[in-house]
């Protein structure tokens, strides 16, 4: 059948929302018990996504005697951890120069190398814990489909040589090798990095939650945290919940795109919306045309970029921004996305992969990711207040959350390590503007990005002035 509003082909059992297709594959997990009342812990973690789970995992392994609780409003993996595009990538959010400004260029290079290693760390833990998350380390392919994109891609690869990327870490591909990997229509140039794996995000989240529970971490679901309070007048740090207060030596905020729901945090990180669609399984004949036998993840160089993977059961899952922001930092509840966004993603899919034009869309969904005002991820722990946090991953969180979890472990245990010396540790940035300036600014930024993509697709050979203006307004 076809959607009445968009005309795109849909399967008979097409679904919009219901958290994500990834959970449709495996079923929504059974809910764990809620917090039974006021409790005291050594460490309380607010948020049951990748950041919170990795932090609890590494802390409990390092010190099994620690009393640790995770407080989750829905269920572990409900947010971006169970909805993302499945890129276990070494890409790190934010300006390299901005990060280097804190502790020098070498510190940023060290951070990039730590990201390379983090990809393999996640794979190793999944193997050790028996987590089957459809992981395949096929690398990452960036494709440029117009002259302006090609120029940006070449410039980016050249610049990366000064930031810890050797030829083996990112390289431009000869046309024959690019075509052998993936037949992406209109590709003028492509770059490849081996530091990325395809994953099924919900399987990783569910498996990691089970591993954390086996270690003895108390994982409370259906528990809404409303406020975080620092140590004061001899009292411990506190996570105030609708089911009672949880006191702890350290309270860690791991709420990413849902941070605005906490008292006093509405302007801290902007919840940016991202949407995805997935096709029905494609027949072998289509894959003969597409190639993609290496299971690389694929992204383009557009400003309103896309990200895609070939799933373990031979579908194409593709995502992009859609409607990027809702007024007042509101977030969705079950992942439904707008029909026009579904149509936009479908057009992007068949533009890059026309051999899949007869495929039908089986599921659409969306979620939010956290964006700091300077677009740079951060991890922090204040020993005086007992409060810490990690996030602001700007869509690059699948791997970064693992690095954050290990870094928070070392910070909580007061270890001075290579991780605690990385330049994203302790970053403090200003808050986002109040409404309606915040909403108007984001709408303008993405309108300019879309205009830039249209301009470059039609006649641009260099990056559009619209994109340069968007970058200036956004502060990226």
Please name the residue that has the structure tokens 């409003």. 73
Say whether pLDDT at 475 is over 90: no
Answer yes or no: is pLDDT of 323 > 80. Answer: no
Residue with tokens 């809910």: 31
Residue 4's pLDDT band (cuts 50, 70, 90)? very low
Closest by alpha carbon to 332, among 363, 371, 367? 367
Strand partners, 241: 225, 244
Rg (CA), the chain: 22
How many whole angstroms separate alpha carbon 251 and alpha carbon 458? 51
Mean pLDDT within 123-135: 98
| Token pair of 277 as six digits | 């669609």
The predicted-structure confidence for 296-312, as pLDDT tens digits, reads as follows: 999 999 988 899 999 99
CA distance linking residue 167 with residue 306, whole number of Å: 25
**Stretch 197-215: mean pLDDT, rounded?**
98
Between 120 and 447, residue with greater pLDDT: 120
Confidence of residue 186 (pLDDT cuts 50, 70, 90): very high
State the sign of the Cα–Cα–Cα–Cα dihedral 400, 353, 188, 148.
Answer: negative
Are the C-beta atoms of 462 and 151 separated by less than 8 Å?
Answer: yes
- String of DSSP letters for 6-67: T--BEEEEEEE-SS-HHHHHH-PPPPPPPP-S-EEEEEEEE--SHHHHHHHHHHHHH-TT--
Residues forming beta bridges with residue 198, ordered by sequence position: 87, 136
Q: What is the pLDDT of residues 81-90, one digit of tens each?
A: 999 999 999 9
Residue 124: closest CA among 111, 137, 113? 137
What is the full DSSP assignment across 230-268? --BTTBPEEEEETTEEEEEEEEEE--GGGGGGSTT-TTT
Report d(CA 116, CA 137) in Å as an integer: 12
Q: What is the pLDDT of residues 34-44, one digit of tens each?
A: 999 999 999 99
Q: What are phi and psi of 393, to 5 degrees?
A: -80, -10
- Tell me the per-residue pLDDT of 95-113, one tens digit each, with 9 for 90 and over: 999 999 989 999 999 999 9
Rounded distance between C-alpha atoms, residue 40 and residue 245, angstroms: 8
| 322-326, 367-371, 443-447, range with the lowest pLDDT | 322-326
C-alpha to C-alpha distances, 240 to 105, 165, 245, 253, 406, nearest whole angstrom: 40, 44, 5, 12, 26
pLDDT at residue 328 in the model: 81
From first CA to last CA, the distance across the chain in angstroms is 42
- 175-196 mean pLDDT: 96
User: 166 pLDDT exceeds 80?
Assistant: yes
Report how far residue 450's alpha carbon sits from residue 239's, in angstroms, rounded to the nearest whole number: 41
HEC assignment per residue over 199-225: CCHHHHHHHHHHHHHHCCCEEECCCCE
In this predicted structure, what is the pLDDT of residue 473?
85
**What's the chain's average pLDDT?**
94
Rounded to whole angstroms, the Cα distance separating 376 from 99 reads 8
The residue whose two tokens read 């894959």 is 287
pLDDT score recorded for residue 248: 98
> What is the CA 307 to chain-centroid distance, rounded?
11
- Residues contacting residue 187 through CB under 8 Å, at least 6 positions apart: 143, 144, 145, 178
| Lookup result for tokens 């495996």 | 26
- CA separation for the pair 150, 144 (Å, rounded): 5
Question: Are the CB atoms for 335 and 19 separated by under 8 Å?
Answer: yes
Can you name the residues that pair with 240 across neighbouring β-strands?
A: 227, 245
pLDDT of amino acid 3? 54
Would you state the pLDDT for residue 322?
73
449 or 229, higher pLDDT: 229
Residue 21 binned pLDDT confidence (cut-offs 50, 70, 90): very high
């Amino acid at each position: 059948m076809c959607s009445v509003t968009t005309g795109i082909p849909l399967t008979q059992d097409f679904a919009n929302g219901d958290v994500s297709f990834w959970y449709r594959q495996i079923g929504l997990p059974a809910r764990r018990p809620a917090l039974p009342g006021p409790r005291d812990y050594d460490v309380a973690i607010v948020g049951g996504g990748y950041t919170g789970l990795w932090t609890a995992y590494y802390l409990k392994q390092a010190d099994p005697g620690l009393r640790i609780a995770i407080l989750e409003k829905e269920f572990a993996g409900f947010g971006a951890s169970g909805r993302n595009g499945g890129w276990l990538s070494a890409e790190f959010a934010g300006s390299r120069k901005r990060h280097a400004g804190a502790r020098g260029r070498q510190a940023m290079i060290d951070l990039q190398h730590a990201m390379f290693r983090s990809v393999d760390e996640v794979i190793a833990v999944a193997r050790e814990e028996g987590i089957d998350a459809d992981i395949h380390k096929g690398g990452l392919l960036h494709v440029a489909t117009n002259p302006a994109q090609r120029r940006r891609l070449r410039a980016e690869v050249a610049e990366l040589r000064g930031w810890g990327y050797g030829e083996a870490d990112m390289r431009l591909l000869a046309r024959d090798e690019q075509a052998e990997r993936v037949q992406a229509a209109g590709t003028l140039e492509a770059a490849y990095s081996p530091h990325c794996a395809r994953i099924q995000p919900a399987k990783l989240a569910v498996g990691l939650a089970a591993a954390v529970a086996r270690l003895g971490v108390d994982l409370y679901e259906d528990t809404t945290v409303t406020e975080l309070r620092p140590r004061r007048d001899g009292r411990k740090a506190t996570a105030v919940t609708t089911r009672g207060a949880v006191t702890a030596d350290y309270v860690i905020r791991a709420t990413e795109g849902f941070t605005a729901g906490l008292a006093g945090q509405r302007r801290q990180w902007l919840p940016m919306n991202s949407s995805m669609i997935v096709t029905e399984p494609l027949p072998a004949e289509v894959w003969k045309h597409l190639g993609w036998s290496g299971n690389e993840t694929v992204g383009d160089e557009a400003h309103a970029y896309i990200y895609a993977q070939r799933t373990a059961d031979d579908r194409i899952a593709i995502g992009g921004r859609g409607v990027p922001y809702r007024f007042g930092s509101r977030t969705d509840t079950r992942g439904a996305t707008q029909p026009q966004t579904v149509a936009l993603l479908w057009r992007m899919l068949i533009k890059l992969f026309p051999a899949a034009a007869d495929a039908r869309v089986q599921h659409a969904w969306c979620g939010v990711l956290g964006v700091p005002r300077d677009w740079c991820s951060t991890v922090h722990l204040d020993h005086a207040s007992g409060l810490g946090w990690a996030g602001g991953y700007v869509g690059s969180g699948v791997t970064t959350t693992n690095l954050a979890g290990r870094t928070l472990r070392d910070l909580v245990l007061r270890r001075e390590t290579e991780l605690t010396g990385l330049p994203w540790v302790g970053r403090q940035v200003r808050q986002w503007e109040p409404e309606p300036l915040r909403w108007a600014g984001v709408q303008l930024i993405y309108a300019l990005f879309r205009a830039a993509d249209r301009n470059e697709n039609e006649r641009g050979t260099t990056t559009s002035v619209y994109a340069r203006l968007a970058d200036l307004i956004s502060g990226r």
